[in-house]
Chains A and B, each alone.
Chain A
Amino acid sequence: MSFIKEFWEFLRIRKKYWLLPIIIVLVIFGGLIVLTQGSAVAPFIYTIF
């Protein structure tokens, strides 16, 4: 719960509410991806994340 509160604070302070729908969709689809695969490993060449 504290995560949701902190993330909401973040969106509020940064005034980035428009990111919210993307995040909700992401959480749903991301959740599916996570559930259907093993480990999340960053690609080896270069990651900006």
Chain B
Amino acid sequence: MTSILGISAFYHDSAACLLKDGKIIAAAQEERFSRKKHDPRYPHNAVEFVLKYSNMKLSEIDQIVFFEKPFLKFERLLETYVAFAPRGFASFSKAMPIWIKEKLFQKNLLFNKLKEHDENFKSDENIFFSDHHLSHAASAFFPSPFEEAVVLTADGVGEWATTTVAVGKKNDLEIKKEIHFPHSLGLLYSAFTYYTGFKVNSGEYKLMGLAPYGNPIYEAKVKELVDIKDDGTFRLDQKYFNYATGLTMTNKKFHNLFGQKPRDSKNERITQFHMDIAASIQKVTEEIMIKLAKVVRQEYNIENLCLAGGVALNCVANGKILQEKIFDNIWIQPAAGDAGGSLGAALALWHIEHKKERVINLNDDMKGSFLGTEFNQEEIEKELKLAGANFETFHYEDLISKTAEFLSNEKAIGWFQGRMEFGPRALGARSILGDPRSDKMQKNLNLKVKYRESFRPFAPSILREDLSDWFNINVDSPYMLLVADVSSNKKIEMNEEQKKLFGIDKLNIKRSEIPAVTHVDYSARIQTVTKETNKPYYDLISKFKEKTGCPVIVNTSFNVRGEPIVNSPTDAFNCFMGTELDYLVVGNCILEKSKQDPKLKKDYTKKFELD
């Protein structure tokens, strides 16, 4: 048996993953343990978890692989500074101490950190380094159900590459083309994330959620920043950006072009201007992705597409690629960001370097992305008792039936079952659930439970077999990475007066039979649920359907704004007591808010730094 430990760290979203003979055994992000969102530090806790889950000591691991190449990254930095000199001295003087002190000696740094897990781990000979985008591509291709696929990766930046096209066949994967820094679709999107007052590397999905409120009236101006060729390749005009050498994303020329300074999130509200900006950059992003997809489809004549890299988390763009019917099949890595790099690096080492055969699993090699921690009933009860919780335990059928009953009574429920998800989306293991038919649910969940911006939409989980009755889509979307419109027979058309409503006011209009998960443009970020990948969740939605006739429920991550998704029953209880959740369902236990000791209530609104 050969075991490989994959690690991503030191940038953002550090994570660890363990493979045994090429099979994915466990994977988790460090933020879930450290409770610091997007934690970039060495993933000590995540490594501990994957080792423990696999019953292995670090010294028993055959090979360890890091998700990118630090020397290449250093080369890119130096060459960028030389190319832009004398501009960029401030950034240079901040970057170099970090590199000279730590990052350049990453092998040594990793070795020292790894030694902390096991004193018998004595040699750095088995530490390898993958390439950032190869890791992304491998994470998208090897677990996919395709024997052959074109793999498109796009993110901010890795070493040099920002966008790559690779072709995967059986156990082989080769990068064919690359677009290099500073020309980056991810950084272009992040520049607008920064400009609209959200946090870079974290607020991108808010910008995407804001886009449907606006009109893309700035599309032409965005295209002054980026020169898009017919084949989908692009070049960013660096005179508008500051990220290559500065400490901000955009510069004065950029602000003058759009006529406003970047929004100060602490003092300025989101206006129609920001919504229109969001709509414009989203449209341009979609145009680039679609063009790229069309060209690679023609060039390689392969009918399957795999996607990864941070840009692949742009589920609206993914939905458009699907709609255009460019490829017959699309598979997107659920941990498409840097956390998934740990998985990709390990898979690349196994299949490409060791040339190990790949067995294609049509039933989801990622196991629904449920690769994280799990707690048995005994452990759950022990933790809850220790936390001072008042709970009742139920048999499985009763638990499902009661929870479905609560949901149909418009209660907000914390749902904690089975193994934790790997990747940024909660998929029904660490989720907050609600009734999508309720008019008030979106506002309530946003403001009273999640403490986040009221414009942000929620996603539906739907039984796979009912998908096409409710949405204009009929392909699997198990990882909530595709967006499609609500079916026309479920829509409630807005009248002329309602259509004229400004931005967020539109949200208060009931737009469909499931208003809580219908965005202002009638779109929804869909998760399809099957019995095979998550039985309790499937059974719950089925029961809800039995009671209400609706096979859809609201699914949002089990956390508040700025908090990583809950990992343990204790985290779940803390979040439950810090928010206005009505019930918490953990394993076979049900906790009712009104029966908890009021002294255990926590002020949760200020506990986590806002993202």
A: residues with CB less than 8 A from B are 3, 6-7, 10, 14, 16, 19, 22-23, 26-27, 29-31, 33-34, 37, 40-43, 45-49
In Å, the complex CA distance between A18 and B451 comes to: 53
In Å, the complex CA distance between A43 and B201 comes to: 14
Of the A-B pairs whose beta carbons lie under 8 Å apart in the complex, a sample of 13, sorted by A's number, is A3-B108, A16-B75, A31-B100, A33-B96, A40-B98, A43-B91, A43-B94, A46-B200, A46-B201, A46-B243, A48-B80, A48-B156, A49-B99
**Within 8 Å CB of B71, what residues of A?**
6-7, 10
CB < 8 Å: which of B99, B103, B104, B194 contacts A46? B194
Q: Is B190 an interface residue (CB 8 A)?
A: yes
**Within 8 Å CB of B105, what residues of A?**
3
**Within 8 Å CB of A40, what residues of B?**
97-98, 101-102
In Å, the complex CA distance between A14 and B72 comes to: 9
Residue in B closest to A23 when the chains form the complex, CB atoms: B78
In Å, the complex CA distance between A43 and B157 comes to: 17
3 shortest interchain CB distances as A-B pairs: A30-B100, A40-B97, A40-B98
In Å, the complex CA distance between A48 and B162 comes to: 12
Interface residues of B in 517-551 (CB under 8 A from A): none
The answer to whether A48 touches B243 (Cβ under 8 A) is yes
**Within 8 Å CB of A33, what residues of B?**
93, 96-97, 100
Q: Is B249 an interface residue (CB 8 A)?
A: yes
The answer to whether B247 touches A45 (Cβ under 8 A) is yes
Closest approach, in angstroms, between the C-beta of B286 and any C-beta of chain A? Answer: 23
**Within 8 Å CB of A23, what residues of B?**
78
Q: Is B73 an interface residue (CB 8 A)?
A: yes
**Within 8 Å CB of A16, what residues of B?**
75
Residue in A closest to B103 when the chains form the complex, CB atoms: A49
In Å, the complex CA distance between A14 and B73 comes to: 13
Q: Is B107 an interface residue (CB 8 A)?
A: yes
The answer to whether B100 touches A34 (Cβ under 8 A) is yes
Q: Is B2 an interface residue (CB 8 A)?
A: no
In Å, the complex CA distance between A10 and B71 comes to: 7
Q: Which of B98, B103, B194 has the most CB of A within 10 A?
A: B98
Q: Is B492 an interface residue (CB 8 A)?
A: no
**Within 8 Å CB of A43, what residues of B?**
91, 94, 247
In Å, the complex CA distance between A45 and B242 comes to: 12
Residue in A closest to B73 when the chains form the complex, CB atoms: A49
Closest approach, in angstroms, between the C-beta of B287 and any C-beta of chain A? Answer: 24
Residue in B closest to A9 when the chains form the complex, CB atoms: B71
Closest approach, in angstroms, between the C-beta of B319 and any C-beta of chain A? Answer: 28
The answer to whether B249 touches A45 (Cβ under 8 A) is yes
Q: Which of B80, B101, B201 has the most CB of A within 10 A?
A: B101
**Within 8 Å CB of B107, what residues of A?**
3, 6
Q: Which of B104, B181, B248 has the most CB of A within 10 A?
A: B104
Interface residues of B in 365-400 (CB under 8 A from A): none
In Å, the complex CA distance between A38 and B103 comes to: 16
The answer to whether A14 touches B93 (Cβ under 8 A) is no
In Å, the complex CA distance between A29 and B72 comes to: 21
In Å, the complex CA distance between A37 and B93 comes to: 12
**Within 8 Å CB of A45, what residues of B?**
194, 200, 247-249
The answer to whether B77 touches A26 (Cβ under 8 A) is no
Q: Is B459 an interface residue (CB 8 A)?
A: no
Q: Is B95 an interface residue (CB 8 A)?
A: yes
Interface residues of B in 241-268 (CB under 8 A from A): 243-244, 247-249
Q: Is B82 an interface residue (CB 8 A)?
A: yes
Given contacts A48-B243, A49-B98, 8 further A-B contacts (CB under 8 A): A3-B107, A6-B71, A10-B71, A14-B72, A30-B97, A34-B97, A43-B91, A49-B95
In Å, the complex CA distance between A42 and B96 comes to: 10
In Å, the complex CA distance between A28 and B552 comes to: 62
In Å, the complex CA distance between A15 and B250 comes to: 33
The answer to whether A34 touches B101 (Cβ under 8 A) is yes
The answer to whether A19 touches B75 (Cβ under 8 A) is yes
Residue in A closest to B200 when the chains form the complex, CB atoms: A46
Residue in B closest to A13 when the chains form the complex, CB atoms: B71
Residue in A closest to B201 when the chains form the complex, CB atoms: A46
**Within 8 Å CB of B80, what residues of A?**
48
Closest approach, in angstroms, between the C-beta of A30 and any C-beta of chain B? Answer: 4
The answer to whether B94 touches A46 (Cβ under 8 A) is no
The answer to whether A48 touches B108 (Cβ under 8 A) is no
In Å, the complex CA distance between A46 and B97 comes to: 17
Residue in A closest to B108 when the chains form the complex, CB atoms: A3
The answer to whether A46 touches B78 (Cβ under 8 A) is no
The answer to whether B98 touches A42 (Cβ under 8 A) is yes
The answer to whether B244 touches A48 (Cβ under 8 A) is yes
**Within 8 Å CB of B100, what residues of A?**
26-27, 30-31, 33-34
Closest approach, in angstroms, between the C-beta of B315 and any C-beta of chain A? Answer: 23
Residue in A closest to B82 when the chains form the complex, CB atoms: A22
The answer to whether B247 touches A46 (Cβ under 8 A) is yes
Residue in A closest to B157 when the chains form the complex, CB atoms: A48
**Within 8 Å CB of A46, what residues of B?**
190, 194, 200-201, 243, 247-249
Residue in B closest to A31 when the chains form the complex, CB atoms: B100
In Å, the complex CA distance between A26 and B77 comes to: 12
**Within 8 Å CB of B79, what residues of A?**
19
Residue in A closest to B247 when the chains form the complex, CB atoms: A43
